[in-house]
Amino acid sequence: MESISELRKRLQEEKVRPSGWTRPFGYTTFQRGPSIYITRVLLKTRLTPNHITFACIVSGIIGALFMLGLETPWKLLGIIFLYFNIILDKVDGELARHHNTFSLKGIYWDEINHLIIPPLFWIFSAYGILHISVFQQGLFMTTAALGAMALMVNRIVHSLAPQIYAKKYMKHPEHFPFSEKNMQDISLSPRHRFSLLRPIGHLIHQLQDFFIIISLSSLVLIFEYLFRRDYIFHPIFGWYIVGMSILFILFACENMLRKGALVTQHIEDINASRK
């Protein structure tokens, strides 16, 4: 059996040091850090990457359901399950790279995980404090629901451009020359070119990462639990949900505009290269 350091180099290097973008805070230490130990244990079993993906989804759903509990300890337990969801999301890919088995089924369920768990967590977090919140219920849930939808939109937009490119290529390969560089150009989008939130910079963009979201959520809940006698009313957590929901909506608008500009520019470059 390979050592942890050998497994890290072989199974994580391409993810920890990608070209074209910067990983969010804590990615290497708190996500890839513990995942390789679980992967090493699972290499001795007959579990497949798809098994781990399904376990990942189940863990995320359980964690989201715990956010419906009124008491803060239940919510924190839910966040632990959600953190395990994030870790398992890394483990299934590491197993797939180890066995050199990559299936469309696995990719499909991995996308399903990313599409449903973050929005589910967000809407359940809001609903869990709805009846004890200091906010007007209708407005509060509408804001949270739009924030949850924005989380889903951000994930869709993240992979929509290469999907469109591949779909059009399959129908009209003569119009869309397929190459590794083309797919890389259409997938990567430098934030400094199209960012509407450029003055805030890279730090604010990290708030789109699910690990950052659940980490901030846990910190807000713990602070409220320890330092407010009326923590059961969750005024701080309520304001946190409202503020972050608005930020998610802004991110969704920015990502749609940025990706749209990128796709348009890429197609123009392809057309210009034919002339």
Q: What is the pLDDT of residue 147?
A: 97
Q: Give the residue numbers spanning the domain of 209.
A: 4-274
Q: What is the pLDDT of residue 182?
A: 54
Residue 228: Cβ within 10 Å count: 13
Contact 36, 8 (CB under 8 A): yes
Q: What is the pLDDT of residue 193?
A: 45
| pLDDT tens sequence across 28-50 | 999 999 999 999 999 999 999 99
Domain count for the chain: 1
What CATH number is associated with residue 55?
1.20.120.1760
pTM of the model: 0.84
> What parts of the chain have a pLDDT lower than 70?
18-22, 132-134, 161-162, 165-170, 172-202, 229-234, 262-275
Q: What is the pLDDT of residue 268?
A: 63
| pLDDT tens sequence across 125-183 | 999 988 766 678 899 999 999 999 999 999 998 777 667 766 666 676 666 555 555 55
